[in-house]
Amino acid sequence: MAQELRRKSIHLFGLLVPIIYSFVEKPTALIIVGLLTLIALLIELLKTLLPPFRDLFFRILSPMLRSHERRGGVTGATYYFIGSFLCILIFNKNLAIVCLCFLILGDLFAALIGKQWGRTKLIAKKSLEGSLACFVVCALIALMKYHPVIALAGALAATLVELFPTGLDDNLTMPLASGLVMQLIINGWH
């Protein structure tokens, strides 16, 4: 649990992206997040190509990495920056910010509630309690900006992506899938 708390506390730093985006225009946000994405990709490349860099990377960050990341897989942070860049690129400002907050806060509460109070196992190590926490947090976030139908559909999409393993990291898929669902509903209403 301590490792998960440490790992999830890093998620809170991810709030910097939607916070910064709320103060700047889309082109500026794309430049900032684009540069962060390029840095993350460069780090992935360096840890693959340079054993001394890889050793240093793992020595410093190993306690916060998941087992597949310790075996050399792409880190969740890299997927987060790719997902953030794509959300900012594809969606309008409000929708991108909401979807990134789904990922950061919904995923955070799913993990914390699921690990602490999750008794009803659903899929793999995921629990009903964690999934309900994710849904409630995402719904509350979306209800601040959108009609309840849009908000609840987006929250449900985010929760289902967080729950079901897709083969892709949910730091990439959760904000994109929930944003797509919400955008389709928004488009259908106009």
Other Cβ atoms less than 10 A from the Cβ of 147: the count is 13
Distance CA 168, CA 176 (A): 12
- Tell me which range, 7-16, 79-88, 165-174, is most confidently predicted by mean pLDDT: 79-88
Helix (H) / strand (E) containing 35: helix 26-49
Other Cβ atoms less than 10 A from the Cβ of 133: the count is 24
Task: Identify the three-state secondary structure at position 124.
Answer: coil
Q: pLDDT of 161-190, one tens digit each?
A: 999 887 888 899 999 999 999 999 999 976
DSSP 8-state code for residue 102 = I
Average pLDDT, the chain: 89
Distance CA 91, CA 148 (A): 19
Q: pTM for this structure?
A: 0.88
Other Cβ atoms less than 10 A from the Cβ of 125: the count is 11
